[in-house]
């Protein structure tokens, strides 16, 4: 079975090719069958290979399939090859499983859209790229998938390009991601230089001996820059909220469940490198913690239902990075999985709401929807409880374990930020639920009486995801709560190779307490001495979440006048949150405008003013800058010749400086 893993990405690609080329002539049902069928087939192959893996001895659980040699230079060659191991099997199951559900959902959601086949082409293409990303056996194949998902995300964000804003959002996502890619590419070059290979297994095996801690830190920080771009962490998170311009299934699949977690996956993949670089780990944990709180606070003041969920995603990704940074890689992947379930459910639920409300996204114009949309309401509520961290639902296990790992690893400050953010999460998520499904009906005139529940193709996936949000956490119940923690044991061959070593150094670097007993036994937890604190923290965070929920209920159910008053009395804070700390404006002023000004400066100053000006004399420059700069675009040959002459003299001077008579 494992020899067939290349089918997992290729099946969606075939679907994309068929729908992309001849899909326009097909009836809708045929497009549906091709799109959903190809993903489902990929899911079946993923399950089969997962089962095949379980039959192997844990130390033998990896299988590489080389399709062909991609770039062969000298002694080394980079293959287009796929790797199936416990980590990639988890990722493929998430991508194909959640992907399939979202495809089914899209059948209902996109029913009325004129570019039906184009949508499914992009979606299948995305799945192909994402699966290539998680299955690639070396950095370069991962990077191809990395760019591929970026491209699909760009195409899908701008799917409704008639709207200028949406087209811009797509471009923003792409350009911001390129900043991250810059780091990734450089890291790749450095890895290649030091290891002579880009293959994950070879790099990881050689890492402890081949490179110094300083090199590892450099590589890891550059990789993290890439992860920041793709996984929307500070300071590169700005594209994700704007990316909500795309159709809602896209937000669920790409901008919540799969693509944005690519950075987390990549760090987990490189866990051995990170463990060698305590400085990088501390950075990852700190950035993750700050992002978790930062995005959470913004979510409080948003009124667009999808924007709230977007900032919530950024915040949850922050948790995953905390996990990565404290060396609890398996826990991070665990949260990645549970997050995929409940966030997909939430996004699809919000899509159902938007669908039923005739494209209304403003929560201030909703209310009491549970009456009209019982299925959506039920599933949404459960998923919200799950994200808030109430036991025994999914996020309780994953999020709490991240916080516990941070605490016990000595990352007290990061723990505090994460803990704060947990309560805020509960608050803003229930604010969303109460504003949308409870209270009085504040519907617009034109939708009144027309609000309806969505078709079954939309709510059946919701129920499935709801079920997963409930039980998804049970595969990783920590031993402190009497669970067996199958999830960690499954990932142990990939992620537990001495990873706690680095975390201990990282913790020492942050300046908190020394290594705790929790780490001695790896990701499994399980020691005795720490249990008391672990239980206390568990209760504390559940209690803190309940406080958040209660406060939301108080503000948005009982005393609905409070939020407005609070906003009015703390106007400055509210404005700051409502406007997302003005980060977009600051970036626009500093980077975008700055870059445009700089490039204009470069071009106008050098080519237009210096060269032409030197040729035409100062008088003309003065006249022209006063009048029309456009006239100066006609280049003057004398000016260019002068530049050549100056350049020649400079070169000669440079060489003369190295000459000895």
Residues that bind another protein (CB under 8 A): 68-74, 77, 80, 140, 143-144, 147-148, 151, 158, 161-162, 164, 166-167, 170-171, 174-175, 178-179, 181-182, 185-186, 189-190, 192-193, 595-596, 598-600, 602-604, 606-607, 611, 634-635, 637, 639-641, 643-644, 646-648, 651-652, 654-656, 658-661
User: Looking at beta carbons only, is 164 or 569 nearer to another protein?
Assistant: 164
* CB of 20 vs another protein, minimal distance in Å: 10
- In sign, the C-alpha dihedral spanning 52, 58, 60, 61 is positive
* CB of 639 vs another protein, minimal distance in Å: 7
Both tokens assigned to 414: 């990061």
Residue 343: which of 433, 492, 501, 466 has the closest Cα? 466
* CB of 154 vs another protein, minimal distance in Å: 8
* CB of 495 vs another protein, minimal distance in Å: 27
User: Looking at beta carbons only, is 197 or 313 nearer to another protein?
Assistant: 197
* CB of 635 vs another protein, minimal distance in Å: 4
Beta bridge partners of 199: 138
* CB of 84 vs another protein, minimal distance in Å: 21
State the number of CA atoms in the 13 A half-sphere of 490 facing the CB.
Answer: 21
User: Looking at beta carbons only, is 242 or 360 nearer to another protein?
Assistant: 242
User: Looking at beta carbons only, is 190 or 578 nearer to another protein?
Assistant: 190
User: Looking at beta carbons only, is 175 or 381 nearer to another protein?
Assistant: 175
DSSP 558: I
User: Looking at beta carbons only, is 183 or 409 nearer to another protein?
Assistant: 183
Segment 403-407 long-range contacts (CB within 8 Å, at least 24 positions apart): 403/322, 403/537, 403/541, 404/478, 404/518, 404/525, 404/534, 404/537, 404/538, 405/323, 405/326, 405/327, 405/328, 405/331, 405/518, 406/285, 406/289, 406/322, 406/323, 406/326, 406/328, 407/533, 407/537
User: Looking at beta carbons only, is 550 or 652 nearer to another protein?
Assistant: 652
* CB of 22 vs another protein, minimal distance in Å: 14
Q: What is the DSSP string of 607-629?
A: IIIIIIHHHH-HHHHHHHHHS-G
* CB of 645 vs another protein, minimal distance in Å: 8
* Measured torsion, CA atoms of residues 305, 310, 313, 318, in degrees rounded to the nearest 10: -130
* CB of 421 vs another protein, minimal distance in Å: 31
User: Looking at beta carbons only, is 2 or 175 nearer to another protein?
Assistant: 175
Beta bridge partners of 138: 199
User: Looking at beta carbons only, is 557 or 592 nearer to another protein?
Assistant: 592
* CB of 9 vs another protein, minimal distance in Å: 13
Decide: 372 and 453 in contact? Cβ < 8 Å: yes
* CB of 395 vs another protein, minimal distance in Å: 35
* CB of 595 vs another protein, minimal distance in Å: 7
Beta bridge partners of 362: 304
* CB of 80 vs another protein, minimal distance in Å: 8
**Residue 161: Cβ within 10 Å count:** 14
DSSP 163: S
Torsions phi, psi of 305, nearest 5?
Answer: -60, -40
CA distance 123 to 95: 12
User: Looking at beta carbons only, is 52 or 123 nearer to another protein?
Assistant: 123
User: Looking at beta carbons only, is 188 or 477 nearer to another protein?
Assistant: 188
- 585, with CB counted inside 10 A (0-12, 13-18, 19+), is exposed
- 508, with CB counted inside 10 A (0-12, 13-18, 19+), is middle
What are the start-end ranges of the H helices in 439-559? 456-471, 486-495, 499-510, 531-553
CA distance 621 to 147: 45
CA distance 522 to 588: 44
* Integer-rounded Cα radius of gyration of the chain: 27
Helix (H, G, I), strand (E, B), or coil: what is residue 357?
A: coil
Helix (H, G, I), strand (E, B), or coil: what is residue 533?
A: helix
User: Looking at beta carbons only, is 60 or 648 nearer to another protein?
Assistant: 648
User: Looking at beta carbons only, is 162 or 440 nearer to another protein?
Assistant: 162
User: Looking at beta carbons only, is 175 or 416 nearer to another protein?
Assistant: 175
* CB of 288 vs another protein, minimal distance in Å: 24
């Amino acid at each position: 079975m494992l020899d067939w893993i290349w089918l997992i990405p290729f099946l969606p690609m075939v679907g994309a090719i068929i729908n992309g080329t001849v899909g326009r002539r097909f009836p809708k049902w045929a497009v549906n069958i091709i799109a959903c069928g190809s993903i489902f087939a990929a899911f079946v192959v993923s399950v089969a290979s997962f089962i095949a893996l379980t039959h192997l001895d844990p130390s033998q659980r990896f299988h590489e399939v080389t399709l062909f040699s991609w770039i062969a230079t000298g002694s080394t060659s980079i293959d287009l090859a796929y790797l199936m191991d416990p980590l990639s099997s988890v990722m493929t199951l998430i991508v194909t499983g959640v992907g399939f559900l979202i495809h089914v959902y899209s059948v209902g959601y996109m029913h009325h859209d004129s570019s039906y086949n184009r949508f499914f082409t992009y979606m299948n293409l995305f799945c192909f790229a994402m699966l290539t990303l998680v299955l690639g056996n070396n950095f370069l194949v991962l990077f191809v998938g990395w760019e591929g998902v970026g491209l699909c995300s760009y195409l899908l964000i701008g799917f409704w390009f008639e709207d200028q804003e949406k087209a811009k959002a797509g471009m923003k996502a792409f350009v911001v991601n390129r900043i991250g890619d810059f780091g990734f590419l450089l890291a790749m070059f450095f890895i290649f230089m030091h290891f002579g290979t880009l293959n994950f297994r070879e790099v990881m095996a050689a890492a402890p001996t081949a490179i110094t801690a300083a090199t590892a830190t450099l590589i890891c920080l550059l990789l993290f820059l890439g992860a920041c771009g793709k996984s929307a962490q500070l300071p590169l998170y700005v594209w994700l909220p704007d990316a909500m311009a795309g159709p809602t299934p896209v937000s669920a699949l790409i901008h919540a469940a799969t693509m944005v977690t690519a950075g987390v996956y990549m760090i987990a993949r490189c866990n051995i490198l990170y463990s060698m670089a305590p400085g990088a780990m501390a950075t990852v944990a700190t950035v993750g913690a700050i992002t978790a709180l930062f995005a959470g606070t913004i979510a409080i003041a948003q009124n667009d239902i999808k924007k709230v969920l977007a900032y919530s995603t950024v915040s949850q990704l922050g948790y995953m990075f905390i996990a990565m940074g404290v060396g609890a890689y398996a826990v991070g992947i665990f949260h990645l999985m549970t997050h995929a379930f409940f966030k997909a459910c939430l996004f699809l639920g919000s899509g159902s709401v938007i669908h039923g409300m005739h494209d209304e996204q403003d929560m201030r114009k909703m209310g009491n929807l549970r009456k009209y949309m019982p299925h959506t309401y039920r599933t949404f509520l459960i998923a919200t409880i799950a994200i808030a961290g109430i036991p025994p639902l999914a996020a309780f296990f994953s999020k709490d374990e991240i916080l516990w790992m941070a605490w016990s690893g000595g990352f007290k400050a990061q723990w505090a930020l994460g803990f704060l953010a947990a309560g805020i999460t509960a608050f803003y998520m229930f604010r969303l639920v109460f504003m949308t499904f409870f209270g009085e009906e504040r519907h617009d005139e034109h939708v009144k009486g027309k609000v309806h529940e969505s078709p079954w193709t939309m709510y059946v996936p919701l129920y499935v995801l709801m079920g997963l949000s409930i039980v998804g956490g049970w595969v990783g119940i920590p031993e402190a709560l009497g669970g067996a923690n199958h999830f960690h044991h499954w990932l142990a061959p990939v992620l537990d190779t001495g990873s706690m070593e680095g975390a201990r150094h990282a913790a020492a670097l942050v300046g908190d307490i020394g290594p705790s007993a929790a780490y001695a036994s790896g990701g499994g937890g399980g020691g005795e001495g720490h249990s008391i604190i672990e239980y206390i923290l568990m209760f504390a965070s559940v209690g803190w979440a309940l406080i958040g929920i209660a406060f939301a209920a108080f503000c948005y159910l009982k005393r609905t006048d409070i939020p407005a008053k609070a906003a009015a009395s703390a106007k400055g804070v509210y404005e700051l949150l409502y406007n997302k700390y003005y980060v977009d404006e600051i970036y626009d002023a500093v980077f975008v405008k700055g870059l445009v000004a700089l490039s204009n400066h470069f071009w106008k100053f050098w080519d237009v003013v210096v060269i032409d000006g030197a040729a035409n004399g100062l008088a003309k420059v003065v006249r022209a800058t006063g009048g029309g700069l456009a006239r100066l675009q006609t280049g003057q040959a004398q000016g260019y010749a002068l530049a050549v002459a100056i350049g020649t003299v400079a070169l000669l001077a440079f060489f003369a400086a190295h000459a000895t008579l």
